[in-house]
Every structure is written in C-alpha cells, then in structure tokens.
C-alpha cells in the first residue's frame, strides 16, 4: 500500500474528485481548520499528481469544507443514535468520511463507479466493517449487497451527487430505498432551479462535459412521492451561526439575500416513517421550526391589521364613491341626451306624466334633478 499512484492510473478519475480530496487535505493545515482530515493528507501524498494547479481560493475552500463538516455531523448524529448502524456513502469519490466519523462499531459501505473504486482500493484497505462497492448508484443491484444486516438502522448519504441525476431516476432510487429499507435515513444536497441554471451557465463557460439535472422548488417535495416519507431537517449556509472569516463577503451575501443563502440545501429525510419507532424520529431543525412560527405570527399580525384597516376604510371609500356617482349622475345624463340630440325637457315631461299616473309627486323630483343637472352647461 506504500507505492505511489502514477498519473496514468488517474485517467479515468475526474479532476474535480482530485481537487475535492486536495481541498480536504489543505483544510487540515489551517490553524482555524473547519475539518481535520489526516487520511486525506496521506492520500494526497500517495498520488503522483500536481494538485497545486487546482487549488481552491480561500472562500471556495471554506464553503466546500463547511458543507463537508455538516455532512459529517449528520453521520455522527446517526451513529450516536445507532452505534452499530449501517452507513452507505453514495458517490463517495475519494472522500475519507469513514475515517473522520467512525465510532468503532458501525458498518460502512463506500459506493462509486468502478474506476473510482479501483483507485480507492489501491489507496485503502477493506476491513470487516468497511467495504467498497463498484457500481452506479442508479444500478439498483447494489441494494442486494448492503441488504444483509437485519434489524440494523441504515443511513444513506450522498454529497454532491444527486443533482446530476435525472428526476425520474431520483424518484426510482428514493422509492426503492423506501421499499427496501423502511425507516432508513437519507441525507443529500440539492439546489433550487435558479442555482442549477447559474451553475450550468458556469459549467458551460468552463467547457465542462456535464451539467446539473435535478433541482427542487420545494425542499420537502419528496414527502409527496409516497406515503410516509418525511423531511426531518433542512440545512442551509445561512444555518451557520458562527462567523467564518474565510467565507468573508460570501457569508454576508447568504444572509442578506436568502435566494442565494437557501439556494443550496442539505436535506435529511426518513424513508417511510410509519415503520420506524416514533421515539427515534429526530425533530426538525429548531431554527426552521422557529422560522415557521415567526412567519406564521407575522402573517397573523399583518393579516389582522389588513382586515381591521379594510373594515374601517372600505365602507368609507365606498360611501364617498357612491356620493360622487349620485351627484354626477344628473349632469352626465343631461350631457348624454344633448349629445344624442334628444330634448331633455320633453323627456322630463314624459317622465312626469308617467310618475303622475303611478301616483308619485313629479314636481319635487323634477326640481331636484333640474337643480343638480339641467342648469349646468355640458362640458365641451
């Protein structure tokens, strides 16, 4: 395992994967490191590749590792609740999450395409608790490999993977996990349609041969895919409360413009909650729950004020409008009759005769109408 990996062995591995591994190793060297990943440093030293040519700038470096840290925290929380649980890392790349979060009891599977797993096997050893699977995540035959742990809790985790899958394939995968592993948890990241469009424009500018294909307008949309699927938590970059100097203006932008701050999210779901013990279901993000409560309260206050204002103003405004219409009616009627060549006096006489026949007093009504309209000259 000490032989250095030559460049030709990397031909089937994307530069993005190598760059991500390098970013983890570089982060470990910062005094204020967001993660510590000595195994990543070891792997970088084992690969004969000029990593420095693809080093991220400090802002992107911090953003990448903030997201990585949150995925690690989801995995650690799962293993704290289920020490002997099973974790399947879908699209693992060259990530070394198992080394970062292992509790000494869990069973772990790293899943990726055959060329990636071939490289991983040159760098890492399998053990009774750590296995690798060479397969596409969309080839559901791999479910048979991991479905050998009756009674164990399952966590499926996918970082930077699902947004490249078509919607139909994502639905097929999620529904297969729900049917095969009831009560399992699923953690993955996804973006809004706006962010996907912006990212694809950037990928086109860089002449990349891949594009993002899946996005969600509503981050709890998977709940509508099948009964029992439950969104447990949503994590955004705006969920980060501490100040991270290397994020700089980007962190301020995320908080000032929620469209961007919440444009990328990590989602934590449970597959078919009806078959999972109720006491084990984690609560939704407290900040999200408070956000909903505050939004509901604000909506109630604004709605109440609007109703109160409408109750007082609408009758007053409508009354003024009716008064103006009634005051203008005689004048507008006389103006229209004159424009049409009709004689207002003759029509008035006909009206008076009809009212007399009906037993009404026409004199008083005629005086009122003449006072309001007949003495006024029509507008030019």
Instruction: Specify the residue for token string 């008083």.
Output: 364
Decide if 117 contacts 134 (C-beta within 8 A): yes
Decide if 183 contacts 273 (C-beta within 8 A): yes
- For the chain, which domains are there? 7-284 (3.40.50.150), 297-374 (no CATH)
Q: What is the pLDDT of residue 53?
A: 80
Q: Which residues contact 69 (CB under 8 A, 6 or more apart)?
A: 34, 35
Cα–Cα distance, 98 to 76 (Å, whole number): 10
Q: What is the pLDDT of residue 223?
A: 96
Q: What is the pLDDT of residue 304?
A: 46
Instruction: Specify the residue for token string 């919440």.
Output: 262
Q: What is the pLDDT of residue 102?
A: 97
Cα–Cα distance, 123 to 49 (Å, whole number): 14
Could you report the per-residue pLDDT of 22-50, keeping only the tens digit for each? Answer: 999 999 999 989 999 999 999 999 999 88
Cα–Cα distance, 91 to 111 (Å, whole number): 6
Alpha-carbon Rg for the chain in angstroms: 35
Spans of the chain below 50 pLDDT? 1, 275-327, 329, 372-380
Burial of 191 (0-12, 13-18, 19+ CB in 10 A): buried
Could you report the per-residue pLDDT of 324-369, keeping only the tens digit for each? Answer: 444 454 555 566 666 666 676 666 567 667 767 777 665 566 555 5
> How many other β-carbons are positioned within 10 Å of the β-carbon of residue 97?
21
């Amino acid at each position: 395992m000490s032989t250095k990996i030559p460049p030709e062995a990397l031909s089937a591995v994307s530069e993005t994967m190598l760059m991500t591994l390098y970013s983890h190793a570089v982060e470990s060297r910062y005094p204020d490191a967001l993660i510590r990943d000595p195994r990543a440093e070891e792997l970088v030293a084992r690969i004969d590749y000029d990593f420095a040519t693809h080093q991220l700038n400090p802002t992107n470096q911090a953003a990448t590792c903030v997201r990585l840290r949150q995925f690690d925290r989801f995995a650690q929380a799962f293993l704290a609740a289920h020490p002997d649980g099973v974790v399947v890392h879908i699209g693992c790349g060259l990530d070394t999450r198992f080394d970062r979060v292992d509790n000494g009891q869990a069973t772990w599977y790293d899943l990726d395409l055959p060329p990636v797993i071939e490289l991983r096997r040159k760098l890492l050893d399998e053990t009774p608790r750590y296995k690798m699977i060479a397969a596409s995540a969309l080839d559901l035959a791999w479910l048979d490999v991991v479905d050998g742990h009756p009674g164990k809790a399952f966590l499926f985790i996918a970082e930077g993977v699902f947004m490249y899958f078509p919607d139909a394939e994502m639905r097929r995968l999620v529904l297969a996990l729900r049917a095969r592993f009831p009560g399992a948890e699923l953690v993955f990241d996804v973006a809004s349609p706006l962010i996907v469009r912006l990212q694809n424009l950037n990928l086109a500018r860089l002449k990349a041969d891949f594009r993002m294909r899946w996005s969600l307008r509503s981050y709890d949309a998977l709940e509508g895919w099948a009964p029992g699927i439950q969104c447990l938590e949503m994590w955004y970059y705006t969920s980060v409360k501490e100040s991270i100097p290397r994020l700089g203006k980007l962190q301020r932008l995320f908080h000032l413009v929620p469209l961007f701050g919440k444009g990328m999210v990590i989602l934590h779901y449970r597959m078919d909650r009806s078959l999972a013990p109720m006491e084990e279901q984690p609560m939704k993000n407290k900040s999200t729950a408070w956000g909903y409560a505050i939004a509901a309260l604000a909506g109630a206050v604004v709605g109440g004020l609007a109703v109160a204002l409408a109750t007082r103003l609408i009758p007053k405004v409508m009354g003024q409008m009716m008064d103006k219409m009634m005051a203008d009616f005689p004048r507008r009627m006389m103006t229209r009759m004159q424009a049409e060549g009709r004689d207002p006096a003759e029509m008035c006489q006909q009206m008076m005769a009809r009212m007399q026949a009906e037993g009404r007093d026409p004199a008083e009504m005629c005086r009122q109408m003449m006072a309001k309209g007949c003495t006024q000259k029509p507008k030019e």
